[in-house]
Amino acid sequence: MSSAPVIEEIESVIIRFTGDSGDGMQLTGTLFTNASALVGNDISTFPDFPAEIRAPAGTLAGVSGFQVNLANTDIFTPGDAPDVLVAMNPAALAANLSDLKAGGVLIINTDAFTDGNLKKAHFKSNPLEDESLNKYRVHKLPMTTLNREAVEGIAGLNKKDIDRTRNFFALGLAFWIFDRPVTSQEEWIKAKFKKPEVQESNIRAFKAGYNYGETTEAFQHRYRIAPAQLPPGVYRKITGNEATALGLVTAASRSGKPLFYGTYPITPASDILHFLAGLRNFDVRTFQAEDEIAAMGSVVGAAFGGAFAVTASSGPGIALKSEALNLALVLELPMVMVNVQRGGPSTGLPTKTEQSDLMMSFFGRNGESPLPIIAASTPGDCFTMAVEAFRLAVRAMCPVVLLTDGYIANSSEPWRIPDPDLIAPIECDHPTNPENFLPYLRDEAGGRPWVLPGTRGMEHRIGGLSKAPQTGNVSYAPAHHQQMVRERAAKVQKLQAVIPDQEVFGPESGDVLLVGWGGTYGALRAAAQQAQREGASVAHAHIRYLSPFPKNLEALMKRYKKILVAELNGGQLAFLLRGKFGLTNIEELNKVEGKPFKIAEVHARLVDVLKGVR
């Protein structure tokens, strides 16, 4: 008789589910993450989608992965390398094995290791039979066969339908190994799938995977992760795109305005549209235009009409929207443009992350056309910065660019739901008194009156031609053009008065300041913490306000001997900081692989820079 399995208490674990794009790995990872959030673990996820649409099954181009980091402490990233790798076919193994930690757990669906699949994955020999996997703890199981046996006999299902459920077999096994509660998962299946045969097949597959772990002697070691000690409050799991959508709706609500969202679908921004489309009861109007140019035109019109107007896209779509965005700048209308950055140039890497649109945000319009630019740093921070974007847009009466990226847009984390009553109202004044009205007469912040069209006695001309100050009439006078250009730039710079000072994590002065922006926050903060634990004089500053920069940023940076700017591009922020502040002590860490930073590579570069200081 076998003994009861050992349950080991651990602080954290990193699991990666991998398979073909049709194997349901994104759903598997998401459901495992949801179950972990319910038991109170801190979580951080990294979905990795194939760039090819319907790549041939079993090929490296079609591999899909989902990595989740679970912990009983505060974590910042999905982790550098998985402790556990679930590989549903040879291509998944080939694409991910090099990331698995030595001694890590490898769970393999042996049924998929046919000669044809091995050839597609470019294996010269079968890794299940040679010695290439000796440094891992390998569990080989015929997952497809076991799953077919479990689901056999359900009327109305063919073999293809049955094989679609094997991701739930893998999910059930993961639930058993990591001691996840099964009740919530069965309830989810019943709520998700309406056909009785589909419900039953997925429940059977899930239970079969769980029971396999419980009954086979191959899995006699289980792991348990205690709940994390997070600040008290009500939490939900949230992705960056979901948080952005909720932030936009909240901003509109706190301003007493309808939200108009005009867009054209593009990866990885489309989920913002999908999420907002279900919120009609919050006075949200979504419009899917025939292309990006039409979408941007609709947003300019909505802003002129007095709505909270927003669009979102990724790099290629932003390029198409730039002309109409520049029109909105000249009209001086408040709106928000969300750029969920992906790898470029051109179509580039549609499903991979990058931070290469910073220069485009600054200079990607004709003429002198500065705009406020802000960037979210985590999935949850997308909510905060979406609200902030509209607050700044109304104050300065101009479009605001909100930068996120594919990494934080699709990644998820626990998010403490804020009390909406504690979010300050956004005051939107629409003047109605025509006495002494001038459409471009500026207030203290540099903004012009936001007059609703049709207000009696306050009619005025709009358009993209050069304008005269105050009246807004078409003017080609050189002095008028120069004055309007300078006034539009000045109101952006005046936002420094209301944006917060730059914060720093670590010593207020020292050897190295690690500087970043956007979705690199987690890796940079973790690397800085590691260096500090090693006794290094290292601090971390993550810039969320990029145009204008916080007013204390220059003085802060000058308190450190070296500045290391880490970003997922060729050095765009470093270029801007050198040009703006004349700094000559900036070092760079640049990565353009379509992948986020690993903590280890940031820490290694920090160590190199520290050696140069000493």
388: nearest Cα among 366, 418, 368 = 418
pLDDT at 614: 63
pLDDT at 216: 85
Same fold, 6-224 and 510-613: no
Domain boundaries, the chain: 6-224, 236-422, 510-613
User: What is the third-level CATH fold of 510-613?
Assistant: Rossmann fold (3.40.50)
CATH 3.40.50.1370 fits 236-422, yes or no: no
pLDDT at 54: 78
- Please write the tens of the pLDDT for every residue from 173-221: 999 999 998 888 889 999 999 999 999 999 999 999 999 998 887 777 7
378: nearest Cα among 34, 43, 76 = 76
The label of the residue with tokens 């080991």 reads 8
Cβ atoms of 150 and 211 within 8 Å: the answer is no
pLDDT at 22: 87
- For strands 586-590 and 560-567, give the pairing: parallel
- Please write the tens of the pLDDT for every residue from 401-411: 999 999 999 99
Can you list the residues of the chain whose pLDDT is less than 70?
Answer: 1-5, 614
pLDDT at 1: 46
pLDDT at 209: 96
342: nearest Cα among 368, 380, 316 = 316
Buried b (16+ CB within 10 A) or exposed e, 201-212: bbbbbbbbbbeb
The label of the residue with tokens 């952005």 reads 244
CA distance 343 to 152: 44
Query: What residues form DSSP beta bridges with 564?
Result: 514, 587
CA distance 612 to 455: 64
CA distance 159 to 151: 10
- For residue 193, with 0-12 CB atoms within 10 Å meaning exposed, 13-18 middle and 19 or more buried, which class applies? middle
| Helix and strand numbers, DSSP H then E, in the chain | 20, 21
Torsion of CA 499, 503, 508, 510, to 10 degrees: -110
- Please write the tens of the pLDDT for every residue from 432-457: 999 999 999 999 999 999 999 999 99
- Neighbouring residues of 419: CB distance < 8 A, sequence distance ≥ 6: none
User: How far, in Å, are 101, 352, 383 from residue 78 at the CA level?
Assistant: 14, 16, 20
Q: Which helix (H) or strand (E) holds 64?
A: strand 63-71
Q: What is the pTM of this model?
A: 0.95
CA distance 345 to 357: 9
CA distance 344 to 337: 19
- Neighbouring residues of 47: CB distance < 8 A, sequence distance ≥ 6: 26, 29, 30, 65, 66, 67, 410, 411
The label of the residue with tokens 């759903």 reads 27
Name the token pair of 222. 């289980």
Residue 434 neighbours by CB distance under 10 Å: 12
- For strands 545-547 and 373-375, give the pairing: antiparallel
Residue 585 neighbours by CB distance under 10 Å: 15
Query: What residues form DSSP beta bridges with 308?
Result: 259
CA distance 7 to 222: 5
- For residue 588, with 0-12 CB atoms within 10 Å meaning exposed, 13-18 middle and 19 or more buried, which class applies? middle
Q: Can you say whether the dihedral through the CA atoms of 74, 78, 81, 86 is positive or negative? A: positive
CA distance 310 to 298: 10
Beta strands in 380-477 (DSSP E): 399-405, 412-416
CA distance 15 to 66: 8
Residue 351 neighbours by CB distance under 10 Å: 19
- Please write the tens of the pLDDT for every residue from 518-541: 999 999 999 999 999 999 999 999
CA distance 237 to 187: 18
CATH 3.20.20.70 fits 6-224, yes or no: no
